[in-house]
Structure 1
Amino acid sequence: MKTPAERIFSAIFIVPQLCVIAFMALAVSPPAKADVTAFGQEISIPRNTANGTVVARHYMTPQEVCRQSKCTVDRVLAYPDGGGVPSSSTIITTNVMGISTRLLINGRAYGTSSPGVEFTQPIEVQLLGDGRENKGGSLAGVHSSPYYYNLSGAGYGFRIYMSGTITPIDGTCSVPSQTVKLPKTLINRLDRIGATAGTQSFQIQVNNCPKGYNRIGYTLDPVGGVIANSPGVLPLAGGSTASGIKIRVENAQGTPATLNTSISLSEYKKAEGGSFVIPMQASYIRTDTVATPGTVNGAMTVFMDYR
């Protein structure tokens, strides 16, 4: 389930509420083993995770799979619920209600098949919501041979087990809508590329976070994409009439905000939950040699992620 909170600067910086769920749980097993156990930790996620939402990821290098820098996978066997009858589906259920798994090789998903595919980059196992109510529990397979995937090629066999506990949490944080309006400024205050003016402080409010998550993070995602070599700068949004000037989002100390990267909400404590504020500020910034006055609009989306 996603919750973007969209902000439009304009002089106007707008943020309607949304709530985003995007999880990254990365674990790496010891090198050169015949088998691997993925995950292994407690993974706390919202109970009603949207269908297809990735809640955790585990990567395995070619050295782990076949003890070489390049592996060829001739055969994949995928076992729903960690054993039993193989399935050709690229998404198979785990024995935790509401959570399924997917195996990716070179970014492509495989069920039981004979792909004959080579890879030099890590393969990935994902856990994802499948639309059913998440009731939690252990990922360990319920059958006598509780592995989920069996990969084989010339001279090797590689089985992927799973462990760890899925803990469903009722509820997510909320991010209320707000409008942040920058003051008018004179263009001669922006007399060179990189000059800033018209700084306006604001806060991202994160309210009513429930107890129980191991980590809550937030990601600032500029609408229109990240501008290369322009930290914290938002692309111009619709309605802008100025040129050569944009809006830069900064932390409370004036350092350009980190965009498109999950940042831990450090004040959140698993046993307490609560509401929090993230102090920020925004400024006009000169970005081009030629600049003309007018209205400057920008937008970003705030994504919340839970683990």
Structure 2
Amino acid sequence: MKTTAKKISALFVAPQLCVIVLMTLVVSPSAKAAAVTAFGQNISTPKNTASGTILARHYFTPSQVCGKSKCRATRLDTYPKGGDNSSTSAVITTNVSGISTRLLINGSAYGTQSLSVEFSQPIEVQLLSDGRENLGDSLAGTSPNPSYFQFSTYEGGLLEISLRGTITPIDGTCSVPNQTVKLPTTALQRLDSIGSTAGAQSFQIQVNNCPKGYNRIGYTLDPVGGVIANSPGVLPLAGGSTASGIKIRVENAQGAPATLGTSITVDGYKKAAGGSFAIPMQASYIRTDTVTTPGTVNGALNVFIDYR
């Protein structure tokens, strides 16, 4: 009796997205009123970017905000330029020409208002290009008590958030070319249990023509469709997928699941030299369910480049 091996195939697409900056600074948690600082050091940013481009990110965990794993925001006050007058705008100007800022809770930005929003994920402070010329300067506010945000919670915490550090504009950014990675057609029988992998295909993320002058350049792998909880390196199924129970896992050159959603330093970049760099990766099929059907398996990954 003859048996026919069922086949699966895949296209893995890694398009370039916009250039952004990620930046974090660890601060000590506090359950009560606290004054904290976002950024706080020299920040090199691209000089010419489109209005709305995210230039830097800073995160505060719920523990840092209210001393617990889950908080409920009750009020946010925003102060343009770290001054004395609040604003209802969700995006406010900083003390540096060309740079604005906003605070996000569960991914949504708010201006001055009363709230009732629970969150268990970190709140995020962003620096954005606002279309004006980026002249660089200190982010420190203009008030004697120069907080840009005052954030209150039901648990009784008040977080006064100041911005610090000096913006240094740099001419030029790296480029990351789009690419399509095609995994080999693979027999479904090779994926005989949940978590098993097959069909590994090597590829490289190219980070090209990086100018000199940045303190650090990093990259972040961001799956289209979001990170899947408790599934390291695994991409959600993208449009055109016909298989079920099978996904694509992105891995480092050694075959370990890739880190998703976190900035990773581009090894080899030197502030005084710049240059182009290749990051070795691979991708493979991974079985994710007890029930599977053959077909095509597609996934997509955005590559963010960040600068300091």
The interval holding the TM-score normalised by the smaller chain is 0.7 to 0.9
Q: CA RMSD, aligned part only?
A: 4.1
Question: Aligned runs of 1:134-213 on 2, under 5 Å?
Answer: 134-141=134-141, 145=144, 147-149=146-148, 162-213=163-214
The yes-or-no answer on 1:12 pairing with 2:27 is: no
Partner of 1:276: 277
Partner of 1:287: 288
Partner letter of residue 132 of structure 2? R
How far apart in 2 are the matches of 1:125 and 1:267? 29
Q: Secondary structure of 2:303's partner?
A: strand
Partner of 1:267: 268
* Higher Cα radius of gyration: 1
Q: Secondary structure of 1:188's partner?
A: helix
Cα pair distance change 1:119/1:149, threshold 3 Å: farther
TM-score by length of 1: 0.74
Contact 1:246–1:284 under 8 Å retained in 2: yes
Question: Aligned runs of 1:103-122 on 2, under 5 Å?
Answer: 109-111=110-112, 115=114
How many angstroms does 1:98 deviate by? Answer: 0.5
Contact 1:27–1:38 under 8 Å retained in 2: no
Contact 1:37–1:162 under 8 Å retained in 2: yes
Partner of 1:4: none
Partner of 1:100: 100
Cα pair distance change 1:39/1:229, threshold 3 Å: closer
Contact 1:43–1:167 under 8 Å retained in 2: yes
TM-score by length of 2: 0.74
Partner letter of residue 176 of structure 2? V
Partner of 1:238: 239
How many angstroms does 1:295 deviate by? Answer: 2.4
Q: Secondary structure of 2:41's partner?
A: strand
Cα pair distance change 1:228/1:72, threshold 3 Å: closer
Contact 1:27–1:57 under 8 Å retained in 2: no
**What does the per-residue CA deviation read over 1:101-122, in whole Å, with 9 as the maximum and x for residues that have no partner?**
34678976344x7x59999999
Contact 1:26–1:57 under 8 Å retained in 2: yes
How many angstroms does 1:261 deviate by? Answer: 2.1
How far apart in 2 are the matches of 1:284 and 1:74? 46
Cα pair distance change 1:242/1:173, threshold 3 Å: same
**What does the per-residue CA deviation read over 1:86-131, in whole Å, with 9 as the maximum and x for residues that have no partner?**
65545432231101234678976344x7x59999999875433222
**Please, which runs of 5 or more residues in structure 1 have no aligned partner?**
1-8
How many angstroms does 1:215 deviate by? Answer: 2.2
Question: Aligned runs of 1:206-221 on 2, under 5 Å?
Answer: 206-221=207-222
Percent of pairs identical after alignment?
67
Contact 2:9–2:185 under 8 Å retained in 1: no
The yes-or-no answer on 1:222 pairing with 2:218 is: no
Contact 2:23–2:39 under 8 Å retained in 1: no
How far apart in 1 are the matches of 2:245 and 2:61? 46
The yes-or-no answer on 1:306 pairing with 2:307 is: yes
**What does the per-residue CA deviation read over 1:187-219, in whole Å, with 9 as the maximum and x for residues that have no partner?**
222222222222111111111111122222222
How far apart in 1 are the matches of 2:134 and 2:226? 33
Cα pair distance change 1:188/1:212, threshold 3 Å: same
Partner of 2:5: none
Cα pair distance change 1:102/1:301, threshold 3 Å: closer
Contact 1:203–1:278 under 8 Å retained in 2: yes
Partner letter of residue 97 of structure 1? S
Larger mean Cα displacement after TM superposition, 199-208 or 266-275: 266-275
Cα pair distance change 1:166/1:278, threshold 3 Å: same
How many angstroms does 1:263 deviate by? Answer: 1.8
Q: Secondary structure of 1:184's partner?
A: strand
